[in-house]
């Protein structure tokens, strides 16, 4: 199953996918890794692994719609079965979503529908929950409102800070993303949605 991964930062989730694909535990081909700005650690990780990379730099566009169209074209050129947002910190528009209907995956560091948005870990701590976690979903036009594919719980410890809790969530998020991609690849191999 071919995937394109989009990153904005260091690419720690991407590294887990690269490692699982390389060791054969994840039956995917990472066709390319794209970023929204130059100089990301994620693109560097991909290049070091011999994966094709591309950058569609949002700062080079006066019009966000044009950026979305160019991003969709850059991704589509690699003919992915799925597009994976792996720490991609940009909201895409309907044009991009229509180019990959029900095939744009996103992860979120909370148990949706609770604590959507950019500060899921901080919001969970502020609310005082005893359990939070992570979600893998199909991204839609809303903010963290798409259909949920998988979730994993992570307990909140009394001594947790936003940083310590987020690190524990990231461990589960990586595992859950790989597990979800493996399930989608298996379904695709058996003639399911691709």
Q: Give catalytic residues, as residue numbers.
A: 108
Peptide bond into 134 cis (omega under 30): no
Distances (CA, A) of 5 to 21, 31, 111, 132, 187: 13, 8, 22, 25, 20
Instruction: Give the separation between CA 158 and CA 33, rounded to whole angstroms.
Output: 38
d(CA 28, CA 189): 11
34: its two tokens? 């794209």
Please name the residues in contact with 149: beta carbons below 8 A apart, sequence gap of 6 or more: 105, 136, 137, 138, 180
81 and 4 in contact (C-beta within 8 Å)?
Answer: no
> In the structure encoding, which two tokens stand for residue 110, read together?
């909370």
């Amino acid at each position: 199953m071919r995937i394109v991964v989009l990153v904005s930062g260091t690419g720690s989730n991407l590294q887990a996918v690269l490692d699982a694909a390389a060791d054969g535990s994840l039956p995917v081909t990472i066709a390319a890794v794209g970023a929204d700005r130059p100089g990301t650690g994620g693109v560097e990780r991909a290049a070091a692994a011999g994966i094709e990379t591309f950058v569609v730099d949002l700062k080079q566009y006066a019009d966000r719609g044009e950026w979305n169209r160019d991003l969709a074209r850059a991704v589509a050129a690699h003919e992915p079965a799925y597009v994976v947002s792996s720490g991609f910190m940009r909201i895409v528009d309907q044009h991009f979503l229509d180019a990959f209907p029900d095939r744009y995956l996103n992860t979120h560091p909370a148990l949706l529908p609770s604590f959507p948005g950019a500060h899921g870990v901080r919001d969970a701590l502020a609310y005082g929950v005893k359990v939070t976690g992570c979600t893998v979903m199909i991204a839609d036009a809303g903010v963290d409102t798409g259909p949920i594919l998988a979730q994993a719980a992570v307990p909140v410890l009394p001594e947790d800070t936003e940083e310590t809790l987020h690190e524990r969530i990231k461990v589960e998020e990586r595992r859950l993303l790989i597990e979800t991609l493996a399930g989608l690849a298996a379904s695709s191999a058996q003639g399911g949605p691709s």
